[in-house]
Amino acid sequence: MSSSTATVFEVRGMTCGGCAKRIRTAIETDLGEGAEVVVDHKSGHVTVTTPGDLDHGTVRTAVERTGYEFAGTAA
């Protein structure tokens, strides 16, 4: 059994909880069951935890589809 891996991404343009909810829903939809997504619009951080390897491109696509700027992994 593989362990869960958390990755933190930076997303620009979020201003409220509604923004965070749209992004979370889009990422969860694209990654499917087993993905846990926590979005903090104040810090601009999106933490994605998956049971296996995470495709960063899938996260980028979901973020950009909702109209926000994907800035890669957070430092």
Domains identified in the chain and CATH numbers:
5-73 (3.30.70.100)
Instruction: Return the amino acid letter for 58.
Output: T
pLDDT for 52 beyond 80: yes
Full-model pTM: 0.91
Name the region of 72 (left: φ>0; alpha: ψ -120 to 50; beta: rest).
left
pLDDT in tens, 5-17: 899 999 999 999 9
Element (H, E) at 12: strand 5-12
Closest listed residue to residue 24, CA positions, set 2, 14, 73: 14
User: For position 1, what pLDDT does the model report?
Assistant: 45
